A and B are shown apart, each in its own frame.
Chain A
Amino acid sequence: MKIEVVLITGRTIKQGMGIYTGKDSVLYRQETETIELNAAVLEGLGVEEGDRVLVKTAFGQGVFTCRKGEVPENVAFIPYGLAGNSLIGAGTSGSGMPSYKGITAVVGRYEDG
């Protein structure tokens, strides 16, 4: 099963700390390779916290570890970082700013590809 969501990337305190422990550090990688989803979405996908999911957008794809979050059912949140940026397009609509928030993504179980 796959679920379409609106992807938001943003800061978290662990991501901020991870900037200075190093982008190869366990803290940074664990935090930025995590996706927060609503509990109902996790259930719908048949996954639990700690399971891996495949996230695809029009610009790329990546594997993320699930975390239950206080987000609406149609929203997924990924902390800023190298992993999340692979899903973001480089177009800026003439503003200089890429769409780090509010793009469409499809989330599915990693095993299902």
Chain B
Amino acid sequence: MAKVVKNVVCTFCGSLCDDLEIHIENDNITAVKKGCALSRTKYLNAREEVVPLVEGKEASFSAALEAAVEILAHARHLLVYGLSSTCSEAQAAAVALAETLGASIDSTSSVCHGPGTLAKQLVGIPTCTLGEVKNRADVLVFWGCNPVEAHPRHFARYSVLAKGLKVGGRRERKVVVADVRKTATARGADLFLQLEPNGDFEVLTALRALINGKDIVGEGAGGLTRAQLEECSRLLKEASYGVFFFGMGLTMSRGTHYNVSQALALVRDLNKYTRYSVIPMRGHGNVAGSENVLAWQTGYPFAVNFSRGYPRYNPGEFTAVDLLRRGDVDAALVVAADPAATFPGRAAAVLGEIPTVVIDPHYSATAKLARVYLPSAAAGIGAAGTVYRMDMVPLPVKKLLNLPYPSDKEILDMLREGVKKCSGSREAGSTTRKMAGTGK
């Protein structure tokens, strides 16, 4: 039977476009309307024929679950990682499991916008919703990000091309793009700042000086001339309502969180003259939710460790790449992420050396390295739940298809019940579980 589901939230990227039309026939997605190339590919490939695996061999779901419980219950220091392509209900279940096992828990945030979150903790962040951007922003800065390729409908729905209540379309907005490469996004800018690689901190510092009425030493900074810097500072100050979007050009370049701190300080300076907000261009559909859930349940947004029975936070120590590189963990549980394809080779290889359990709707590169693979029903496709947009607006996602496996949350709950039976609960008196309203 054919049906059309309207107003579907696409969970590919942090834009969470909520106007997709999904055409379904015989429980298969046959067409995606209004989506971008990324969402069409995601939804048209939603149903993958996968089976549970133990040691690379097909197993029943219950046998794979049992094997996973065995690994988790016997780990001395487990890493729970991923969480960005699932719903917040599953993220909360992952925190509960991590606490039960005294594990470290980290999300893909640590290798995308984690440094931005560190900067927020250092400087603070004035922010707004994408609705405000659409309706009010007349100066848009895209620093170290390429939304034309990574968030393809951002311009049309929320920013550059959107027609808002106070600001019309493209002609009423000024667009500044800062990048090392002349990207597709840069080609449409009113002002393109082509930076030297790793030159972000220097340029942001120079802009802060100029905006604060100070002079800069020399004839330029970070690959830009004095004239370009002066033109940029003038344009930024002329805004009635400016918004600074940033991407991994800032968080991944040398200086990481110092780059973002300087960007946030620049925005703080600009707020002396006019209104400015900041929105990180979050990549994965619900990576923003992972930080929210961890923060409200543990007090910290990522890189959390429960080995002492209470949450501790230390990026650089409890972040996934560091834990793997140093050999600090003896097992891993990866949920809705693919670190084998996204981590530096040396860290990714460790996932094949230690017993790894993967929960994922797709047979990912990490699943291929894993000791146990548990297929799941993807959030927003085979399971309903809540996801957070890049501006921290929560949106409900629907169940579109009947898939043969449980949701990530259900599997995580089953694992937690299993390890509690196996190893006895370590969570008596848990502060964080009481805070989350799930303590007994």
Contact = CB atoms under 8 A, between A and B. Distances in A.
Given A81-B341, A89-B346, A90-B321, A6 B38 contact: no
B439 to A, nearest CB: 29
Contacts of A23: 338, 341, 364-365
A22 B364 CA distance: 8
A100 B321 contact: no
Contact of B344 (A8, A77, A88, A95): A88
Contacts of B346: 59, 89-90
Nearest to A6: B197
Interface string A74-113: 1101001110011111111111111111100000000000
B114 interface: yes
Contacts of A75: 180-181, 197
B146 A11 contact: yes
Nearest to B320: A96
Given A8-B181, A90-B344, A13 B149 contact: yes
Nearest to A17: B41
Nearest to B187: A70
B118 A101 contact: no
A82 B349 CA distance: 11
A95 B41 contact: no
A12 B158 CA distance: 21
Interface residues of A, number: 43
Contacts of A89: 344, 346
Interface in B352-392: 362, 364-365
A77 B149 contact: no
B233 interface: no
A72 interface: yes
Contacts of A77: 181
A59 to B, nearest CB: 7
Band of interface residues on B? 35 or more
Contacts of B364: 23
A96 B149 contact: no
B42 interface: yes
B183 to A, nearest CB: 8
Contact of A97 (B198, B256, B341): B256
Interface in B123-176: 146, 149-150, 152
A17 B37 contact: yes
Contacts of A60: 345
A85 B342 contact: yes
A15 B431 CA distance: 42
A60 to B, nearest CB: 6
A79 B319 CA distance: 24
A72 B182 CA distance: 9
A108 B143 CA distance: 31
B115 interface: yes
Contacts of A102: 197-198, 252-254
A94 B316 CA distance: 4
A51 to B, nearest CB: 21
B348 interface: yes
A92 B323 CA distance: 11
Contacts of B45: 20-22
B418 interface: no
B82 interface: no
Contact of B41 (A21, A59, A99): A21
A90 B325 contact: yes
B406 interface: no
B111 interface: yes
A22 B383 CA distance: 21
Contacts of A90: 321, 324-325, 343-347
B100 interface: no
Contacts of A59: 344-346
Given A17-B37, A102-B198, A96 B345 contact: no
Contact of A95 (B106, B118, B348): B118
B348 A10 contact: no
B315 interface: yes
A71 interface: yes
Interface in A1-38: 6, 8, 10-13, 16-17, 19-23
Question: In the complex, which of the residues B38, B152, B342, B345 has the most CB atoms of chain A within 10 Å of its own CB atom?
Answer: B345
A6 B252 CA distance: 13
B316 A16 contact: no
A22 B249 CA distance: 26
Contact of A85 (B41, B152, B343): B343
A79 to B, nearest CB: 10
Contact of B111 (A17, A19, A70, A97): A97
Contacts of B41: 16-17, 20-21
10 contacts: A11-B146, A21-B41, A69-B181, A85-B345, A85-B348, A96-B106, A97-B110, A97-B321, A98-B343, A102-B197
